[in-house]
Structure 1
């Protein structure tokens, strides 16, 4: 199994470490040549969505990635990655891949609650740790979107077909269940896609 990790900006190294712990090969996606290679899944990390969107276009990565996602490539998108997937942004006219039928509000928690930690129910995984850093949230979800998690009544986790979109950063906590769920979606829905490496 090989997973591509968008590596033009943001918190991609933390995702790579988790994948490597599961014995998964990582391919850093840095240019158009990289994104045209075969991968089994894709991670869009947190960071600065405007910068990422700009670099995706400048580096000839945008359209090949959008086509792969639209064709069904499994995707885990966190924070800025969620903004890249969103069909609409409530407080910004920009649109990026627009493959996920949700409306997302950028920097939704403002400065005072710009960063916080909580633990909430996530799908059928039970309570999971959630670290938010100047995070967006999902104002509304379209038809067919499964809501996986809410915090303070706001939607912070969804799944739509091949796409998992999160407002928070699971790569910054020790809990690995969300990454395992993502890898399981690549592996035909099995919960244990690969053995974790011994440490």
Structure 2
């Protein structure tokens, strides 16, 4: 009997239940993560959208800041969506301090406008989808600059909106807000690779 792939969802703010639903739909086991002990035994972690400054404060409050960084350094895959992308970035334009600073990218917050200017766009995501993916953008960031080790997976209007650096994955859009599970399926693949090594 195969051991299930356990994918955590950071449960401090944002679209948590939608990610949990998608994890179930790709036949992985969702685990809600609110404390450091919740990271034990995970094969991957999703940092959902929400408000990046608030999430940054809450992961410190709940003692998750250092354990998430340590988990990433040990090779655990992490997928940041929208605000999650901002949390992972090593630099945020116009801000002195980054948050987790795990990915070699510079991001611009709210580069696609305010919440009332949210929209959906069909984009191609290299390695993830042969057919267009229905990406939902809500006060979305974008990557201004990506380091040499970062693969650009998708762009929109010449702005970088999806990147991967090793086992770290980030999207400016919300893949959990559509019926399309291809991004979650792709991330599950990264989690399986990590599971096989651990």
2:15 pairs with 1:20: no
2:41 pairs with 1:38: yes
Residue aligned with 2:18, SS: helix
Q: 2:133 aligns with which of 122, 128, 133?
A: 128
2:86 pairs with 1:79: no
Q: 2:147 aligns with which of 142, 151, 157?
A: 142
Over 3 Å counting, the alpha-carbon distance change for 1:113 and 1:102 in structure 2 is farther
Q: 1:90 aligns with which of 71, 93, 97?
A: 93
Residue aligned with 1:56, SS: helix
Separation (CA, whole Å) in 1 of partners of 2:81 and 2:159: 16
Which position in structure 2 is the counterpart of 1:48? Answer: 51
Which position in structure 1 is the counterpart of 2:118? Answer: 115
What are the superposed Cα offsets for residues 46-72 of structure 1, whole Å, 9 maximum, x if unpaired?
Answer: 001111110111111110011101221
Separation (CA, whole Å) in 2 of partners of 1:2 and 1:175: 20
Let me know the Cα RMSD of the aligned residues: 1.5
Separation (CA, whole Å) in 1 of partners of 2:38 and 2:193: 25
> Unmatched 5+ residue regions in structure 1?
190-199
Q: 2:183 aligns with which of 174, 178, 182?
A: 178
Runs of 4+ displaced beyond 4 Å: none
- Report how far residue 113 of structure 1 moved: 7.2
Residue aligned with 1:47, SS: coil
- Report how far residue 174 of structure 1 moved: 1.1
CA contact (8 A) 1:116 1:133 kept: yes
Over 3 Å counting, the alpha-carbon distance change for 1:152 and 1:112 in structure 2 is farther
Which position in structure 2 is the counterpart of 1:168? Answer: 173
Over 3 Å counting, the alpha-carbon distance change for 1:8 and 1:112 in structure 2 is closer
What are the superposed Cα offsets for residues 56-93 of structure 1, whole Å, 9 maximum, x if unpaired?
Answer: 11111110011101221111110010011001001222
Residue aligned with 2:187, SS: helix
CA contact (8 A) 2:152 2:164 kept: yes
Separation (CA, whole Å) in 1 of partners of 2:112 and 2:81: 16
> Unmatched 5+ residue regions in structure 2?
none
Which has the larger helix fraction? 2
Residue aligned with 1:188, SS: helix
